[in-house]
């Protein structure tokens, strides 16, 4: 995968480039907007990381120009500006995500993966939060202790709902919505029953209960 | 007395009231004294006139005198009567009895008015020589005359007695009314929010106060500008710190990824923690600057439980790390009209504090209750709580409780306070367990 990094700060640029290279992304690093546009003309990239406070041409202008040229390359804004206006202008202007400095590198990598996944359609067949991974085709779950545990349809639906956004808390009614189709009678305690079953199969730490709110799987590393 | 003097010096209203009252009092006294003496003189004058009229009447009608006996005289008002007698009869006055006529006047009296003491009583006496050559005496007791004169003089004072208190009341009321705009103005300024620096409306004020208010308005404007500059500086500075912080933290992450010796790894840990603390401080500074800014933010109907959920999703790792049981107590959700971001920052800071200051394996509870006009949100923890004496101090920026080992920025509750003031809410700190004086309970009332 080829990444274009547009960042004028030398220390930040250097660090991001090094980490991206370590993560097996081929990275081209440019330090201003005009060079970035020139690079996009000559080379096709899988993803652009764009800083907003650039010398010469502002990041948002660069974004506008990219989109005006009908270039639909996935793009993540990384910036120190947190004003809501900037955020909205960035996302409305066609950015796929918006990451506020300072950020841990793991977060940038996760956001990159998410954007690439979204752009690549639903081809992905595995959901993973670092503790448990779920195969969407075979409906089997794998944890550090267990391997390829077969799940029932409802267990699968529940775990899938939780794994789509690891770290998000889902309430009982939200989980019921995911498990039962329209018109299906909701059985009382069904959610507790399914969670009990999943914990027995995969280990009790996999699904966490938040008192008074609902359930979640941990966000992972 | 000193206190009164000071009040007199300080209060224009009091000085005006007292000066006017004194002026009215002095004028009333002088006018009263004049009216009293002139009325007294007037009355005496009239009584003398009456004596003259009687004498003239007697002379013109050529009356002859027949003295009534003592018994006959008893029927009339003995004191008020006017006595007429021949001066010559005084010689055979019966005794030193003022009831029986004739009375013993000295026969040597000259014509005209005089005041004499006869038989132990004062008399006003008129001696007149008639056309027939007889000398007659017209007399009246002085006591009665004086009494009547005094009565009429007192009556002349009555208007002053009524007017004086009425005038005092009118003056007092007038002065109070004239000063009312000032009182209203100060009440209006007193009720203002800390952040409200908009100019004072000067249109309904008397011209005497207006220049003063205009000057205050100019001052308010300057203060507002200064505060805005300060806020912008904090925001800009924190923004500018973000880039170097990013560079620092990314470089540190790279260092962590490289193979390090055991000592280096051990020393790397505090370095990473320091960077994390700095990052958090910058975020808190920005949040504080933003909470204190005047820009209005869009409001919407927000579900409190939804905000609870966001806060818990953010802070659960921290709570899990300390083994703290955190959860929501209230079953029913409540909606409140507010800016969602502000609500989130408010609650996140409260819950973050609760988790930080609660010892491992403690408990933190969130709760929302709908009240008649407000929504009550409570965050309760099983930590040590905050001593009553300290409860006001903890809202000051960078204040940190004595003996705390937590690496907080000291800004969390300042941010909370800024938001509370901004949205017109009310906050109160207390103990989760009042009897044991332990555990912190923060209650926030938000107007629906």
Mutation to test the B interface, candidates A164, A213, A216, most B Cβ within 10 Å: A213
Say yes or no: A98 and A148 in one domain: no
Say yes or no: A96 and A170 in one domain: no
CA dihedral (B42, B47, B50, B51) in degrees, to 10, reads: -130
Say yes or no: A6 and A113 in one domain: yes
| Rounded Cα distance, B247 and B414, in Å | 28
pLDDT, average across residues A40-47: 90
Q: Among A119, A152, A179, give the residue marking a domain's end.
A: A119
Q: Is the pTM of this model over 0.90?
A: no
Residues of B in contact with A12 (CB under 8 A): 243, 246-247, 250
Mean residue pLDDT across chain A? 86
What's the confidence (pLDDT) of residue B306? 93
| Rounded Cα distance, B75 and B59, in Å | 26
What 3-state class would DSSP assign to B338?
strand
What's the confidence (pLDDT) of residue B79? 65
pLDDT, average across residues A9-38: 89
- B121-154 pLDDT, tens digit per residue, is 888 888 888 877 788 888 888 888 888 888 888 8
Provide the CATH number for the domain around residue A200.
Answer: 1.10.10.10
Do the domain assignments include residue A77? yes
In words, the CATH class of domain B192-295 is mainly alpha
Task: Give residues with Cβ within 8 angstroms of A8, minimum separation 6.
Answer: A31, A32, A51, A53, A54, A55
Supply the ipTM of this predicted assembly. 0.71
- B402-420 pLDDT, tens digit per residue, is 666 666 777 889 999 989 9
Q: Where are the domains of chain B?
A: 1-190, 192-295, 300-447
Provide the CATH number for the domain around residue A36.
Answer: 3.40.50.2300
Contact B326 A22 (CB under 8 A): no
| Res. A74 pLDDT band, cuts 50 70 90 | very high
What's the confidence (pLDDT) of residue B327? 92
Q: Which two tokens stand for residue A100?
A: 């506020």
In words, the CATH class of domain B300-447 is alpha beta
Say yes or no: A41 and A108 in one domain: yes
Q: Which two tokens stand for residue B398?
A: 């960078």
Contact A151, A140 (CB under 8 A): yes
Q: How many CB atoms lie within 10 A of CB A45?
A: 20
| Res. B194 pLDDT band, cuts 50 70 90 | low
Q: Which residue numbers of A have CB closer than 8 Å to B's CBs? A: 9, 11-12, 15-16, 18-19, 22, 53, 80-82, 84, 101-105, 167-169, 171, 208, 210-214, 216, 218-219
Residue A211 belongs to domain spanning = 126-216
| Rounded Cα distance, A164 and A140, in Å | 15
Q: Among A58, A86, A119, give the residue marking a domain's end.
A: A119
Q: Which two tokens stand for residue A207?
A: 């699904």
- A167-176 pLDDT, tens digit per residue, is 899 998 888 8
Query: In the 8-state DSSP scheme, what is residue A81?
Result: -
Residue among B189, B125, B138, B159 at smallest CA distance from B35? B159
Q: Is the pLDDT of residue A122 over 60?
A: no
Do the domain assignments include residue A221? no
Out of A9, A82, A214, closest to residue B247 by CB: A9
- B359-376 pLDDT, tens digit per residue, is 999 999 999 999 999 999
Q: Is the pLDDT of residue B307 over 90?
A: yes
| Res. B233 pLDDT band, cuts 50 70 90 | confident
What's the confidence (pLDDT) of residue B96? 59
């Amino acid at each position: 995968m080829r990444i274009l990094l547009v960042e004028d700060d030398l220390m930040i640029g250097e660090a991001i480039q090094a980490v991206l290279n370590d993560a097996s992304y081929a990275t081209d690093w440019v330090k201003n907007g005009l060079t970035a546009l020139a690079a996009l003309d000559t080379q096709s990239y899988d993803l652009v990381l764009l800083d907003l406070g650039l010398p010469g041409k502002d990041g948002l202008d660069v974004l506008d120009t990219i989109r005006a040229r009908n270039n639909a390359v996935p793009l993540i804004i990384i910036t120190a500006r947190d004003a809501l206006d900037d955020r909205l202008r960035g996302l409305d202007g066609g950015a796929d995500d918006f990451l506020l400095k300072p950020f841990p590198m793991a977060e940038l990598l996760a956001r990159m993966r998410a954007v690439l996944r979204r752009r690549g359609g639903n081809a992905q067949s595995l959901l993973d939060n670092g503790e448990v991974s779920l195969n969407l085709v075979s409906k089997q779950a794998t944890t550090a202790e267990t391997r390829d545990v077969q799940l029932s349809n409802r267990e699968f639906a529940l775990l899938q709902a939780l794994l789509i956004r690891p770290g998000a808390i889902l309430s009982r009614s939200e989980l019921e919505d995911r498990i039962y189709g329209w018109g299906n009678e909701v059985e009382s305690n069904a959610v507790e029953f399914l969670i009990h079953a999943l914990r027995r199969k995969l280990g009790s730490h996999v699904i966490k209960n938040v008192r008074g709110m609902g359930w979640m799987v941990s966000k992972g590393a | 007395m000193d206190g009164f003097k000071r009040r007199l010096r300080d209060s224009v209203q009091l000085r005006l009231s007292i000066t006017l009252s004194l002026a009215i009092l002095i004028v009333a006294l002088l006018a009263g004294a004049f009216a009293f003496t002139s009325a007294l003189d007037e009355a005496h004058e009239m009584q003398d006139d009456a004596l003259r009229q009687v004498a003239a009447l007697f002379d013109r009608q050529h009356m002859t005198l027949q003295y009534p006996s003592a018994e006959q005289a008893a029927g009339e008002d003995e004191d008020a009567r006017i006595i007429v007698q021949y001066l010559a009869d005084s010689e055979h006055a019966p005794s030193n009895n003022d009831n029986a006529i004739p009375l013993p006047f000295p026969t040597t009296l000259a014509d005209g008015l005089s005041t004499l003491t006869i038989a132990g009583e004062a008399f006003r006496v008129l001696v007149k020589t008639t056309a027939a050559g007889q000398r007659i005496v017209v007399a009246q007791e002085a006591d009665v005359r004086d009494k009547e004169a005094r009565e009429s003089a007192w009556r002349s004072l009555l208007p002053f007695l009524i007017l004086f208190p009425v005038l005092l009341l009118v003056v007092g009321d007038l002065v109070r009314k004239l000063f009312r705009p000032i009182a209203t103005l100060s009440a209006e300024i007193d009720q203002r929010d800390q952040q409200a620096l908009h100019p004072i409306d000067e249109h309904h004020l008397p011209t005497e106060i207006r220049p003063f208010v205009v000057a205050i308005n100019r001052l308010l404007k300057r203060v507002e500008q200064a505060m805005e500059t300060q806020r912008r500086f904090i925001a800009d500075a924190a923004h500018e710190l973000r880039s170097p912080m990013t560079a620092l933290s990314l470089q540190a992450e790279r260092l962590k990824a490289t193979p390090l010796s055991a000592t280096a790894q051990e020393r790397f840990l505090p370095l990473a923690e320091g960077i994390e603390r700095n990052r958090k401080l910058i975020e808190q500074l920005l949040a504080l600057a933003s909470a204190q800014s005047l820009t209005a933010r869009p409001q919407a109907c927000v579900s409190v439980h939804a905000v609870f959920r966001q806060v818990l999703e953010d802070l659960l790792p921290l709570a899990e790390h300390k083994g703290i049981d955190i959860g929501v107590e209230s079953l029913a959700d409540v909606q409140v009209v507010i800016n969602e971001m502000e609500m989130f920052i408010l609650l996140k800071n409260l819950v973050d504090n609760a988790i930080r200051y609660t010892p491992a394996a403690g408990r933190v509870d969130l709760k929302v209750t709908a009240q008649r006009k407000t929504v009550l949100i409570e965050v309760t923890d099983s930590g040590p709580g905050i001593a009553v004496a300290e409860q006001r101090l903890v809202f000051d920026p960078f204040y940190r409780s004595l003996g705390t080992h937590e690496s907080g920025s000291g800004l969390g509750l300042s941010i909370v306070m800024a938001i509370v003031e901004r949205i017109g809410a009310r906050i109160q700190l207390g103990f989760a367990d009042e009897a044991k004086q332990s555990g912190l309970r923060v209650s926030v009332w938000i107007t629906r």
